[in-house]
Structure 1
Amino acid sequence: MSQELFVVNNVWMMVSIFLVFIMHLGFATLESGLVRSKNTVNILFKNSMIPPIGLLTYALWGFSLMYPGEAFAGGFFGFSGFGISLPEGGETSAYNEGYTFWTDFLFQGMFAATAATIVSGAVAERVKLGTYIIFSIIFVGACYPIVGMWKWGGGFLDTLETPFYDFAGSTLVHSVGGWGALAGIILLGPRIGKYVGGKTKPIPGHSMPLATIGVFILWLGWFGFNGGSVLSADPGAVSRVLVMTSLAAAAGALGAFFVSYSLFKSSDLTMVLNGILAGLVGITAGADQMSVVDSAVIGLVAGALVVLGVLLFDKLKIDDPVGALSVHLICGIWGTLAVGLFGELAGVDQLISQLTGIGVVGAFSFVFAFAVWFALKSISGIRVSETEEIDGLDMHEHKMHAYPDINAPANEVTRLENSTVEDKKKMPANVAN
């Protein structure tokens, strides 16, 4: 490889790192928009902690768990030692036929943090902050790199007669986060007032502009998430992946709109936003293998599934404030299956391998997450008190508000509601109103 091509490949990989990094802002913005204003600081704090946790745990041991080299134990587990160290040839060597060791570490580390970010929104508005942080350290530091190694680190899923295929992580990132979220939701229970008298009560988020901005930031970031997974700046391969990624996102929006409108007779913005994300998650497993029609069909089905998934989880009284389970778990599974149904790898053998990977990764991730959540629940509890939940986590967990003028403490709100007109005339305008 020429020095010029090496530099170009490495630069594209670094640009992809920047794009994947900005996805954390997208998640933070989306999730904060879909929760109530009294929990905004809490959701932003959690999303601000995940990249540091992901990068540090990945540097200390996660990278060595995911890429153990020869230190395998039957293809199921491996560990090459604590910390990260330069390969032979030094820091500018063509470590992976086109980019440096440091570039590879940072790209993979950005992926690691995403799994815990998915959990953040699903358990929002009632989980203890400290408990969530501890769970994230364990989940990102152990569960994600172990299952990632099974495919991307040369583990047993990569050595099947027909290897399991997951181009950029529909299963290994998105459904892993989804399984972790499902375990947490089951043990946490629903938010107060969500399911009353056998009926589901909508608890809308406080800012649709924030949620919309978050989704478009995520769509932008996905160009690095999928485009960087080509692992080079190959013009044909990268261009194809970016086109298929965008077509699936577009079809996901339409699929969600058509299904939600036919069911609710309204143009539901949140369903369309989650439809875009559903299409992105769905195409992630096979973005390098699909045609234009394949990508559109995968996105269209994903958009429909995300709406049906929201209804299914509500029927089961599984309270997911942001729709993370429908987007990342259901559509992660669908996208992984789609590799065996569409595109260049379609066939019975590939479909069986895809089902194997989905089943093994899902079982391990759910059991691992459930065990961690259960242990934390037994030791210190995982849910805030009823008073804290009603007042909002911002006031109790952080002693601050995202919007100080409108997020007064609950007792202050009650006092204002009971005030007479004459009382309010004596108050500053921004308080009285």
Structure 2
Amino acid sequence: MSIEVSQVHGAVQTLTQSSDTLFLLLGAIMVFLMHAGFAFLEVGTVRHKNQVNALVKILADFGISSLAYFFIGYTVAYGANFFSDAETLSQGNGYELVKFFFLLTFAAAIPAIVSGGIAERARFYPILVATFFTVGLVYPLFEGIIWNGNFGVQAWFESSFGVGFHDFAGSVVVHGVGGWIALVAVIFLGMRNGRVRAGKHTNFAPSNIPFLALGAWILSVGWFGFNVMSAQTLEGISGLVAMNSLMAMAGGIVASMIAGRNDPGFIHNGPLAGLVAICAGSDLMHPIGALITGAIAGTLFVYLFTYLQNKTRIDDVLGVWPLHGICGAWGGIAAGIFGQSALGGLGGVSLTVQILGTLLGISIAVLGGLVVYGAINAVSGLRLSQEDEFNGADLSIHRISSTNED
């Protein structure tokens, strides 16, 4: 009888492992697909002469990110490596390998975010070098602190405030870090030629609204893999995360529609702003709290992007700092507000800790970005020549245009 029980237990355990592995693999595939969303969002926003470069950058960045995270970043964050035989690596149905794939798609979002900010005037290979170091060192440093308890920061939060920093799916860990690194890169690169004429700012209109919309749709759909499947096991899956993601997305759409006065660029970035902000507290908030969080994020994006484009010399092409940097930071703080049981949340969060953790993420991103992009800028330069920028990155870098004019 005991043998039969043992066999049943073994079969159940195998089924559970297989199910969790498949679950996480599907999540990894959904988040991987989001990179197509990043690509088409950029393609639709930049001018025609830079569309090929937008597509190539995102794919090349993913390849470099895979190498950087495989050989360095995953070890920095989790102390694990893949230098063992295939039989050992494939134990437990290869769950740990799929987990790496899933977390890699998060890590690779960092250069995909940066790409949108530095579009239309960045050199190709220096940016890939920056990708290697941001994904291999800067991002996993903060990732490991928050999601693996490295350096005792989370333990200090818990001993001092009773709870750790809560970021369920990466409002700060992924989006905040990516957005603030992007701000540093954007400042190093400076404004695109022709943006200021006769002392006045000139905005370049998006080249292709359908492509921009396609990118936003792909990202929005894939985000449910990003958020819901951050549970990483079937047992941990929560319908609350899905509902809160939906409501935050809706809040971002409506708020950006109103604040942006029906501008299609704002409306299609609105859901992304809401989804960025809800990542951190999606497993804690009441859906109404998620709706408010998303609406505030959508409004923040519209007004900050407008201000940057018209009043400053920070030329953030896709508005990735407002979208990911600011809305990501807001999401980290919002988890400490709307996650409170007094506001319908599940509790177990501290607003003080959420603010401190968010500031820590911003600090690491800015300092890391300054070191990486500053060093590369000093050694080789980050920006295309004036002639190459005028001709467009497509012809200057890739020797081909997005359309055949013959």
User: How high is the TM-score relative to the length of structure 2?
Assistant: 0.90
Kindly state the Cα deviation for residue 140 of structure 1 after the two structures are TM-superposed.
0.8
- Residue by residue over 1:284-343, the C-alpha shift from the partner in whole angstroms, topping out at 9 and shown as x without a partner, is 111111111011101111110000110232222211111111110110011010011002
Which residue does the alignment assign to 1:410?
none
Kindly state the Cα deviation for residue 43 of structure 1 after the two structures are TM-superposed.
1.0
Partner SS, residue 355 of structure 1: helix
Which residue does the alignment assign to 1:174?
175
Structure 1 or 2: more helix by fraction? 2
Which residue does the alignment assign to 1:337?
333
Partner SS, residue 100 of structure 1: helix
Kindly state the Cα deviation for residue 8 of structure 1 after the two structures are TM-superposed.
2.2
Distance 2:97 2:207 in 1: 40
Is the Cα–Cα contact under 8 Å of residues 37 and 216 in structure 2 kept in the other structure? yes
Letter of the structure 2 residue corresponding to residue 203 of structure 1? F
Is the Cα–Cα contact under 8 Å of residues 340 and 349 in structure 2 kept in the other structure? no
Is the Cα–Cα contact under 8 Å of residues 253 and 271 in structure 2 kept in the other structure? yes
- Residue by residue over 1:79-118, the C-alpha shift from the partner in whole angstroms, topping out at 9 and shown as x without a partner, is x6x6454799762328xxxx71111111111111111110
Find 1:307's aligned residue among 287, 302, 309. 302
Letter of the structure 1 residue corresponding to residue 388 of structure 2? E
Which residue does the alignment assign to 2:374?
374
Is the alpha carbon distance of 1:90 and 1:56 closer, same or farther for their aligned partners in structure 2, counting shifts above 3 Å?
closer
Letter of the structure 1 residue corresponding to residue 308 of structure 2? F
Distance 2:132 2:109 in 1: 12
Which residue does the alignment assign to 2:71?
60
Which residue does the alignment assign to 1:72?
none
Is the alpha carbon distance of 1:86 and 1:340 closer, same or farther for their aligned partners in structure 2, counting shifts above 3 Å?
farther
Give runs of aligned pairs for residues 141-156 of structure 1, distance below 5 A: 141-155=136-150, 156=152
- Rg larger in structure: 1
1:115 equivalent in alignment to 2:110? yes
Find 2:44's aligned residue among 21, 33, 38. 33
Q: Structure 1: where are the runs of 5+ without partners?
A: 69-79, 262-266, 406-430
**Larger mean Cα displacement after TM superposition, 23-32 or 199-208:** 199-208
User: How high is the TM-score relative to the length of structure 1?
Assistant: 0.84
Letter of the structure 1 residue corresponding to residue 194 of structure 2? G
4+ aligned runs moved over 3 Å, structure 1: 82-90, 344-349
Give runs of aligned pairs for residues 72-111 of structure 1, distance below 5 A: 83-85=82-84, 91-93=90-92, 100-111=95-106
Kindly state the Cα deviation for residue 10 of structure 1 after the two structures are TM-superposed.
2.0
Is the alpha carbon distance of 1:88 and 1:298 closer, same or farther for their aligned partners in structure 2, counting shifts above 3 Å?
farther
Is the alpha carbon distance of 1:270 and 1:257 closer, same or farther for their aligned partners in structure 2, counting shifts above 3 Å?
same
Letter of the structure 2 residue corresponding to residue 229 of structure 1? S
Is the Cα–Cα contact under 8 Å of residues 60 and 84 in structure 1 kept in the other structure? no
Give runs of aligned pairs for residues 23-422 of structure 1, distance below 5 A: 23-68=34-79, 83-85=82-84, 91-93=90-92, 100-155=95-150, 156-159=152-155, 160-161=157-158, 162-234=163-235, 237-261=237-261, 267-314=262-309, 315-344=311-340, 350-405=350-405
Is the Cα–Cα contact under 8 Å of residues 274 and 323 in structure 1 kept in the other structure? no
**Aligned-pair identity (%):** 33
Aligned residues: 384
- Residue by residue over 1:227-255, the C-alpha shift from the partner in whole angstroms, topping out at 9 and shown as x without a partner, is 110121238x4322112111111110101
Is the Cα–Cα contact under 8 Å of residues 40 and 214 in structure 2 kept in the other structure? yes
Q: Structure 2: where are the runs of 5+ without partners?
A: 1-11
Distance 2:68 2:132 in 1: 7
Distance 2:404 2:153 in 1: 51
